[in-house]
Structure 1
Amino acid sequence: MPALDRNAGAPLWMQFRDVLRGRILQGDFGVGTKLPTEAEFGEQFGISRIVVREALADLVRTGLIYKIRGQGAFVSARERDEDFVSTVLGFSDEMERKGLTVRTQVLEQELRAPTEQEASALELKDTDQVVALRRLRSVDNELRLLVETVVPADLAPGLHRTRLENRSLYELLRRQYGLRIVRAERWIDAVLPDAPTQELLGITGQEPLLRIESIAYGASGRPVEHYRALHRCQSSRLHVKTTT
């Protein structure tokens, strides 16, 4: 078992989570496999059950594993369908749940005044500021998503100076700023990309993209994120689950 470093900057639960995630994605634990108990993991890694429990809870939240009351934790199935449009999981979390590797290149990251559309979506005043991000995202080395995101600056002070390469924005907002996304409104239509977008996404010829707009809300009911994304769907499908 890889040793956990008690002197590292990352907390033990996060180190253990990453080790376990890596073993699952490498196939050490197959789909449907029952995982060791919290006590067994604790003994193997020399950590407390509380540390194990927090790591497992995070893997459940991202969907990589699931729990059955009284029976334990099991490895989830991973599919090609993308569910992030119908959940409050971030794109990175949802892709990692399916065992895929996400890479994020930050093209722009700045503190500025919101546009009229952004101010309306986020219910901001003219004097408010936003942290604006423009990111290019790939899945298993396939360029997949170009996304422009804005977050109210007062909710995430210093975000415009935070390193975001290959990081999940939703996890950062949750862990560093206590912002938990509880619901979102999303709109989807089809568009043809312009020349700069084609170049960024490596598109040759005519290829329609799905344009996704989203407003995400925190537990207080306040909007905490607005994004507009252009999504390539050649090798995947967007999956939406509805309930009554």
Structure 2
Amino acid sequence: MSTVTGIDRRSAAPMYDQLRRLIVEHIENDRLQPGDPLPGEHRLCEQYGVSRTVVRQALAQLEHEGLVERVKGKGTFVARPRTAESLVHTLVGLFDEVERRGGHVRSDILRHETIEADAEVAAALEIAEGSPVVVLTRLRHVDDDAWSLSTTWMPQDVGEVTLGADLRDASLYALLAEHGITATHGVRSAEATVATHEQAGLLGVSAGSALLRLRSVSRDGASRPIEFFIAYHRGDRSRFEFQLGPDSAQGTLVRIP
């Protein structure tokens, strides 16, 4: 560990919070990288003369903050930073959100073709069931880590401009904008779910792991739906941030039947 003073028992600060700060200093001073191991509970107890309860409280707080991750039977490790996404309350896409923070998004294109719209897709895009739509399924990687699995449906005249385009390292929204197709408003929702066996295999998690499910319909200036997508984001790699103000009303609590 680093050469900081240690626990001050006369301080008004709780011991678990002091220990938490000591661990953070250790990570920073020793320049530990994501995946590097941290001392175990027993060693922390001995080194700082605190109880296991204090150690567990400190580690739980660090885990909540996304700074460490605890793996049962293996220990505690420096966590990989989570992507702070504004995807719920803005029309920005994952590619643009990550790129503007200096990261990189790469997509594996799993499906990109014209199909007939089923009832759910037709209702979302406000077209007749059976109408042709372009479907695009992508496994998204952020800085080489599997991050999300998304499927996008577009009306044929919108989606046809994407057919043949290389979207492995490009923004779908930017491509549409090049053809004069721009989303101006829409509705997005987010809910918790768990990974199916198929989703888990693609995202590199265990079946039943926590996922965040985004459902979105975007519209153009004439209020015509131009895109409908459903995306599953790894819960251990993403968090969603909301900008709040005293007079803002950007979100609505929806009761799920």
Band of TM-score, shorter chain: 0.5 to 0.7
**So what's the TM-score if we normalise by structure 2?**
0.61
Structure number with larger C-alpha Rg:
2
Kept in 2, the 8 Å contact 1:132–1:160? The answer is no
Residue of 151, 172, 176 corresponding to 1:173: 176
Kept in 2, the 8 Å contact 1:105–1:166? The answer is no
| 1-structure distance, mates of 2:197, 2:129 | 32
Residues 1:88 and 2:86 aligned together: no
| 1-structure distance, mates of 2:162, 2:237 | 33
1:120 alignment partner in structure 2: 123
Distance apart, 1:120 and its partner CA = 0.5
SS state of the match for residue 181, structure 2?
A: coil
SS state of the match for residue 186, structure 1?
A: strand
**So what's the TM-score if we normalise by structure 1?**
0.64
The Cα RMSD (Å) is: 1.7
SS state of the match for residue 184, structure 2?
A: strand
Distance apart, 1:137 and its partner CA = 0.2
* Gaps in structure 2 of 5+ consecutive residues: 1-81, 250-257
1:202 alignment partner in structure 2: 204
| 2-structure distance, mates of 1:125, 1:166 | 33
Q: For 1:18-59, what per-residue CA distance to the aligned partner results, in whole angstroms no more than 9, with x for missing partners?
A: xxxxxxxxxxxxxxxxxxxxxxxxxxxxxxxxxxxxxxxxxx
C-alpha spacing 1:128/1:206, structure 2 compared with 1 (3 Å):
closer
C-alpha spacing 1:159/1:237, structure 2 compared with 1 (3 Å):
same
Residues 1:189 and 2:191 aligned together: yes
| 1-structure distance, mates of 2:200, 2:130 | 35
**Moved segments of 4+, more than 4 Å:** none
Instruction: Name the count of aligned residue pairs.
Output: 165
* Gaps in structure 1 of 5+ consecutive residues: 1-78
2:150 alignment partner in structure 1: 147
SS state of the match for residue 88, structure 1?
A: coil
C-alpha spacing 1:194/1:168, structure 2 compared with 1 (3 Å):
same
SS state of the match for residue 109, structure 1?
A: strand
Kept in 1, the 8 Å contact 2:162–2:175? The answer is no
